[in-house]
Amino acid sequence: MIAALTGATAAALIVPTLVTVAPASARTTPAAQSAAADPVSALKRHFRTHRGVKLTENTKIVGEGKKNKTIFTRRSGVLEFGRTGLVASDLTTGFNLPAQSGELKGLFAPSRTISLKGVSYTSGGIFAESMPEGKKWLRTRGGTASLVSAVQQIISTVEPGTLKATLARTGARRPGGTWDGTRTTVHSGTITLAELFRVSPAVRAMLTKKPTGRSATLPVTWKIYIGSDQLVRRVVSSYTESTRGLNSTELTYVNDTRYTGWGTKVTIKAPPADQVVEFDELLGDTTQPEDPIGEIFKG
């Protein structure tokens, strides 16, 4: 959960100079759109230096039983592509916790995370009060741009392999309404956690090790809304995770992600070096429950 709360959740403190976002100066032409015969090809056509897409997301986490509680999270920001795919992200995350979450509220303070070049910088969140004077950003190393954590969308459709493998499990198609100004077709189906681990770098970074047993066969149900230009506009997924053995709780995660502004011009930069502190410098002074989300739903 430390990795989820520092490397993949995003923050409330805004530093305008770090990200420059503007409308795309060159949109995909109709000819190029018609040439993009499938969603994977359409996605790859947007892998251009300093181009990206805007993301907004809501997640609902529901506990089981008569005393069930609900956590709502929201995430928004921008993703930056390079010629080979996702290279950076700048995302903010906030939580709406049950009123009785008590001391755990501090673990879920709003946060912002910038990820690029295998490094993540987080401002706010669990470590905000532990930061040395003059420091605003906590740096953690390892992995690529972080898109998935336990409280965020598990199906990263900006990864070509993940998009292809998920759509290969399509069980039904129907009109999906209008999203981001374009009519969509909604594809729906189910994919297992083991399959996602195999194809998704983001899921591998989140789980760190291959799922086995019941975890491997955990079904993730999904809906992907694809526009007439074959670009993904919305992804809705859900799965139920058992934490039995820790606190005997089952949690259902429902994630709803919207993508807008494909082709947006964006340049994500690291925070000023003099405002950054290394993760190892703070780790020894901070404690947290083994499973903070499960603790909220326990009892």
- Domain layout of the chain by residue ranges: 2-297
Tokens for 18, please give them.
């770090």
- 3-class secondary-structure state, position 258: strand
Q: ∠ CA(284), CA(299), CA(107), 5° rounding?
A: 30
Average pLDDT of the residues in 152-165: 94
The predicted structure's pLDDT at residue 2: 36
For residue 232, give the amino acid letter.
V
Q: Which pair of tokens denotes residue 87?
A: 């290279």
> Mapping DSSP to helix (H, G, I), strand (E, B) and coil, where does residue 204 land?
helix
Separation CA 262–CA 219 (nearest Å): 30
52: tokens are 């990206």
Q: pLDDT band at residue 264, thresholds of 50, 70 and 90?
A: very high
Q: Which residue has the tokens 């910038």?
A: 114
Lowest mean pLDDT among 123-132, 173-182, 184-193, 220-229: 123-132
User: What distance lies between CA 222 and its chain's CA centroid?
Assistant: 15
Number of Cβ within 10 Å of residue 81's Cβ equals 25
d(CA 99, CA 261): 36
Average pLDDT over every residue of 241-263? 79
120 compared with 227, residue with greater pLDDT: 227
Q: Supply the pTM of this predicted model.
A: 0.79
Note whether 294 and 246 are within 8 A (CB).
Answer: yes
- Confidence grade of residue 32 (pLDDT, cut at 50, 70, 90): very low
CA distance readout (Å), 28 to 23, 25, 55 = 13, 10, 19
Over residues 35-64, the mean pLDDT reads 89
- Residue 5: what pLDDT? 37
Exposed/middle/buried for residue 262 (C-beta within 10 Å: 0-12, 13-18, 19+)? buried
